[in-house]
Amino acid sequence: MRFTYESPEELTPLLENCDDPRIKDCKFGSYSKAKFISDLVYFNHGSALGVLQTELVEKSYEILSWLVSHGLEFVPIFERQAYKRQGKFYFWGGLTLAARGEGEGLVMSEKRIASSLGVEFRLKRRVKSLETEGGKLVGIRLDNNQTILSKAVVISCGGFESSSELRAEHLGEEWRDVVVRGTSLNRGDGITMARKLNAAMTGSYDQCHAVCMDSSTPEFSGSRIPHQERKHFRKISYPFGIMINSKGRRFVDEGADFRNYTYAQYGREVLRQPGAFAWQIFDGQVRDLLYDDYRQPGATRISASSLDELVRGFPDVNQRNALETIGQYNSATPDSSSFDPTKKDGLGTLGLTVPKSNWALPLVVPPFEAFRVTCGITFTYGGLSIDSDGRVMRSGGSRIPGLFAAGEVVGGLFQFGYPGGAGLTAGAVFGRTAGANAASFSRG
């Protein structure tokens, strides 16, 4: 989860339940408010932060503390956000802690904690509509026609990433058949239901979070597949290699920034390529830097002891061009002695039309490996318009009494890109606000 901390000491209270002996060897650095703001401004294409974005930054640390106060446990992300140098773990990319047990651990812990506070869960039912009487919100209706009466409702049922029709309508026809990284159930229901009460839509409906996924990823790679079996799907270590398309050409600056700042945009770039796929190519020098995902059984991998042999293994790529591209790339790489994965090392190619700005090691050390990737959508950016109390707004600026929203159903937080780890933080920050205000509304 992305949150601000001005110094490593601020992490201590968040790690109170973590007894990992490696913590004493951690170089956490800092992730200042100024940096979080500039990250979001960058993804706004320069526009100043909106009210919700400012709130996200301001409350990001506080929300972690609040979750810890309720018994949630956080641990350093050694495997994915740190590299070891001279016995120390250097964290990079503004992302240091995750819930113990990752996503599953987070959900199970939250469920346990919420249950102990008296929260009742009703699963396996689809909410079909918001119920009104005389224009006033009075509850929800389920797919079995049962009605649940309530003065207040918080909509938090995700975006529209799982609906191929809505993807095609808002993101473009080319998104109709992409694979979905999460659940098959986020079909934009919350937006559709609230729209019937004249809720306003906001944000970048034509933008989304989409990453490079293994070509073997099924249509929905979410919760129905056990965690261990889907570990090989994600393929986001491209900063340490290159990506080529079916024409045998590179098409993005793989080293433009830490993967945290590019991975959510590069799925779209892969989708734009002919055939909507790419091959990621690495050499033996970086083998240990690749995420564990690359070593899992099931990955679409080719391995070879020479580049010629590797390229001959591509069934769907212009092989002559591919060898030429790799040759040009290798010739454009500088002396690699200052290579450093823990920072933007400035080791960039010279003179290429598509540059690689950091970590540009030449592909020279066998074994050479290639992984075939496609685009996988994670979530959508457009959604309902809310105010800073979590209340759902109408088009004219008034609020729909009793209706609140949080999480990815909310639009306007991420415009043209996404800094990794901000989704869960946003969900927690605005979920807490919406929940608290829905409770007071119900009591009042």
Ligand X SMILES: Cc1cc2nc3c(=O)[nH]c(=O)nc-3n(C[C@H](O)[C@H](O)[C@H](O)COP(=O)(O)OP(=O)(O)OC[C@H]3O[C@@H](n4cnc5c(N)ncnc54)[C@H](O)[C@@H]3O)c2cc1C
Q: What does the binding site for ligand X look like in residue numbers (CB under 6 A)?
A: 1, 126-127, 156-158, 181-183, 185-186, 189, 378-379, 407-409, 421-424, 427
Q: Toward ligand X, which CB reaches closer, 39 or 189? A: 189
Please, which residues have CB within 8 angstroms of residue 116's CB and are 6 or more apart in sequence? none
Which is closer to ligand X, CB of 148 or CB of 354? 148
Q: Whole-number minimum distance, CB 105 to ligand X, in Å?
A: 12
Query: Residue 127 or 148: which CB sits closer to ligand X?
Result: 127
Closest CA to 406 of 68, 97, 63, 156: 156
In the complex with ligand X, the residue whose CB is nearer, 30 or 192, is 192
Residue number, 37 or 153, with CB nearest to ligand X: 153
DSSP 360: -
First-last CA distance in the chain: 34
Minimum Å gap between C-beta 95 and ligand X is 8
Min CB(128)–ligand X separation in Å: 7
Select 99 or 326, whichever has its Cβ closest to ligand X. Answer: 99
Name the phi and psi angles at 83, rounded to 5.
-125, 145
Q: How far is the CB of 385 from ligand X (least distance, A)?
A: 15
Nearest CA to 381 among 233, 175, 196? Answer: 175
CA distance 328 to 88: 36
197 exposure class (CB count in 10 Å sphere: 0-12, 13-18, 19+): middle
Q: How far is the CB of 59 from ligand X (least distance, A)?
A: 15
Residue sitting closest to ligand X (CB): 407
**What whole-number distance in Å separates Cα of residue 291 and Cα of residue 260?**
13
d(CA 165, CA 84): 45
In whole angstroms, the minimum distance from the beta carbon of 434 to ligand X comes to 11
